[in-house]
Amino acid sequence: MVYYSDDKITVRDLSENDPAVFAAAEREQGWQSDESGLRKRLEDKAAGRAICLAADWCGEPAGYVSVYPNCEHGAFAGRLPMIVDFAVLEKYRRHGIGGKLMDVAEEIAGRFADEVGLGVGLHPGYGSAQRMYVKRGYVPDGSGVWYRNKVCGEYESCCNDDDLVLYLSKKLRGRD
């Protein structure tokens, strides 16, 4: 299914071929990546647990994101839909691809609730996403930092890796 298309950007369903393409492109740009994460997203999509999107730039796969209407983990488990696993390949950034992926993801999340949540990593690799989320109106949920899917308590040790997350939410409609 195609959710959005213009002369350069197309947002569509994530396909069976995408995990290999994205994993190879991410490794090429120096990220630690394999197909397993996106394969899991496709399994969740097939089971009806997620809506998984990919964006193409001039016909080339450029980014992806998933929406979980009933998330099972993290600060919003059982309460809000979650936007998960957002990425735009570095060579395609600054073309509006991430914004369009988020527009579509938020529209889909809005079918299930008036608010949406997401988690963002805290190391510098997530800097672009952190800035984009704030500009889009996401705010911290107030639960503090989470590590490996649990709240990281005061003075508790953790590692600044991909498992260290701050949860943010955004009102899609309705009162603040």
Q: Which domains does the chain have, with CATH numbers?
A: 2-171 (3.40.630.30)
Which pTM does this prediction carry?
Answer: 0.92
For 86-100, the pLDDT digits (tens) are 999 999 999 999 999
pLDDT at residue 174, rounded to an integer: 72
Sign, CA dihedral 108-105-45-76, equals negative
Asked if residue 103 lies in contact with residue 65, where contact means CB atoms within 8 angstroms, the answer is no
pLDDT at residue 138, rounded to an integer: 97
Asked if pLDDT for residue 61 goes beyond 90, the answer is: yes
For 109-167, the pLDDT digits (tens) are 999 999 999 999 999 989 989 999 999 999 999 999 999 999 999 999 999 999 999 99
pLDDT at residue 32, rounded to an integer: 82
CB-based burial of residue 135 (10 Å sphere; 0-12 exposed, 13-18 middle, 19+ buried)?
exposed
pLDDT at residue 176, rounded to an integer: 53
Mean pLDDT, residues 46-64? 97
Read off the pLDDT band of 33 (50, 70, 90).
confident
Read off the pLDDT band of 175 (50, 70, 90).
low
Asked if residue 3 lies in contact with residue 12, where contact means CB atoms within 8 angstroms, the answer is yes
pLDDT at residue 30, rounded to an integer: 85
Three-class DSSP category at 156: coil
Three-class DSSP category at 128: helix
**Chain mean pLDDT for the chain:** 94
pLDDT at residue 34, rounded to an integer: 86
The H-assigned helical ranges of the chain are: 18-28, 36-46, 97-109, 127-135
**Strongest mean pLDDT among 22-31, 50-59, 166-175:** 50-59
pLDDT at residue 17, rounded to an integer: 96
